[in-house]
């Protein structure tokens, strides 16, 4: 009898540890639905999904870096620079394809620098990526002098469609987001790359002795992250119809929050593709719901911080209780 009670308690703790944050998201959704009559409407939900699409795409790339035990502090400034590169190259070439390729190459160059400094030079990832982000910030301000760059009227239609267009009733950025979510979940769960990313994040020394090229795979995670930032930045620029020097900076803190929320869901303290999607939904839902309730923006920052702390603390406490019961 005692063993049955212990097993039942373990199952409950394990369920709460894996799905407690997702249940919390459901509770928040219900609260906002009652608090604002316009929250639970088709138009607002589609707007919420479109708003979270760019954050989700960036956070999925960040998930690979974090899954391998790394960190990337440059993503906010990188998004801003790519935003500018896309706008300028689109105006100069009047070709969406050229602008897209140059934007992705710009992102990959930043990822390559980050990955090389961290994996091959051996700098701490926080310091290296913070320094790279600072350099990138200086470059984008040097280029723009702090001024926005607006699209002309004669740019290719696809340049606007990718951020503002619809496929039927669904915004195109939402479709793009779900494609990235599916690819990330498959890659992390079903491929050698995903297994090695998690192995390196769990124990890089053991991974090295197991024959995994730790340096190469850590570099790959930074490239994946920077590619995701580039795609999201192109969508952002298209949606705004202009390049704003400070655009994208808010992605850094939100992506960090999303990935820490991801570690509290569906896994044993590891960020996952599905967890990142739910985390992005929570952060975006907070932004959307609190705005609709006319909550001041500074309280929104406070609320997001408290939600992340609460989710992580609950996960840690439940994990300790499980270990004590084993």
Q: CB of 244 within 8 A of CB of 141?
A: no
Q: What integer pLDDT is reported at residue 299 of this predicted model? A: 83
Task: Give me the residue label for tokens 């609709």.
Answer: 292
Encode pLDDT of 270-304 as tens digits.
889 999 999 999 999 998 998 888 888 888 888 87
Average pLDDT over residues 203-226: 96
Task: In whole angstroms, give the CA distance from residue 209 to residue 127.
Answer: 27
Q: What integer pLDDT is reported at residue 301 of this predicted model? A: 83
Average pLDDT, the chain: 88
Q: CB of 177 within 8 A of CB of 49?
A: yes
Q: What integer pLDDT is reported at residue 4 of this predicted model? A: 54
Calculate the alpha carbon distances from 262 to 20, 218, 221, 274, 291 in Å.
Answer: 12, 20, 17, 8, 24
Q: What is the pTM of this model?
A: 0.91
Phi and psi angles of residue 113, each rounded to the nearest 5 degrees, phi first = -65, -45
**Which among 109, 122, 132 has a CA at the least distance from the CA of 218?**
122
Encode pLDDT of 4-36 as tens digits.
555 555 566 667 667 777 888 888 899 999 988
Task: In whole angstroms, give the CA distance from residue 238 to residue 47.
Answer: 16
Task: In whole angstroms, give the CA distance from residue 50 to residue 164.
Answer: 9
Range name among 52-56, 146-150, 180-184, 198-202 with the lowest pLDDT average: 146-150
Q: CB of 257 within 8 A of CB of 279?
A: yes
For the record, the structure tokens of 53 come out as: 């699409």
For the record, the structure tokens of 29 come out as: 């959704």
Q: Which residues on neighbouring strands pair with residue 170, listed in sequence order? A: 167
Q: What angle do CA 189, 194, 196 make, to 5 degrees?
A: 130
What topology does CATH give the domain 22-325? ABC transporter involved in vitamin B12 uptake, BtuC (1.10.3470)
323: pLDDT strictly greater than 60: no
Q: What integer pLDDT is reported at residue 8 of this predicted model? A: 57
**Which among 255, 256, 257, 278 has a CA at the least distance from the CA of 266?**
278
Q: What integer pLDDT is reported at residue 265 of this predicted model? A: 78
For the record, the structure tokens of 36 come out as: 């604002």
For the chain, give every domain's residue range.
22-325
């Amino acid at each position: 009898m005692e063993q049955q009670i212990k097993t039942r308690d373990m199952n409950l703790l394990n369920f709460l540890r894996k799905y407690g944050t997702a249940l919390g998201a459901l509770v928040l959704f219900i609260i906002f639905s009652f608090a604002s009559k316009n929250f639970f409407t088709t138009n607002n939900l589609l707007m919420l999904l479109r708003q979270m699409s760019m954050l989700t795409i960036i956070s999925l790339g960040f998930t690979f870096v974090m899954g391998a035990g790394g960190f990337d502090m440059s993503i906010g400034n990188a998004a801003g620079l790519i935003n500018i590169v896309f706008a300028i190259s689109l105006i100069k070439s009047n070709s969406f394809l050229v602008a897209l390729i140059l934007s992705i190459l710009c992102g990959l160059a930043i990822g390559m620098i980050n990955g090389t400094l961290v994996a091959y030079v051996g700098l701490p990832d926080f310091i290296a990526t913070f320094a790279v982000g600072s350099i990138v910030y200086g470059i984008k301000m040097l280029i723009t002098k702090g001024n926005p760059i607006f699209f002309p009227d004669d740019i290719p239609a696809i340049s606007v469609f990718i951020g503002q267009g619809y496929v039927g009733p669904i915004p195109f950025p939402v479709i793009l987001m779900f494609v990235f979510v599916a690819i990330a979940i498959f890659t992390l769960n079903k491929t050698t790359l995903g297994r090695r990313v998690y192995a390196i994040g769990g124990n890089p020394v053991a991974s090295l002795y197991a024959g995994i090229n730790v340096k190469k795979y850590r570099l790959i995670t930074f490239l994946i992250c920077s590619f995701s930032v580039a795609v999201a930045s192109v969508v952002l620029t298209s949606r705004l119809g202009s390049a704003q020097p400070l655009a994208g900076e808010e992605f850094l803190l939100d992506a960090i929050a999303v990935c820490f929320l991801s570690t509290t869901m569906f896994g044993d303290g590891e960020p996952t593709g599905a967890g990142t999607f739910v985390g992005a939904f929570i952060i975006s839902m907070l932004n959307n719901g609190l705005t609709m309730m006319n909550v001041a923006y500074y309280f929104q920052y406070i609320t997001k911080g408290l939600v992340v702390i609460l989710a992580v603390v609950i996960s840690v406490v439940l994990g300790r209780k499980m270990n004590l019961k084993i």
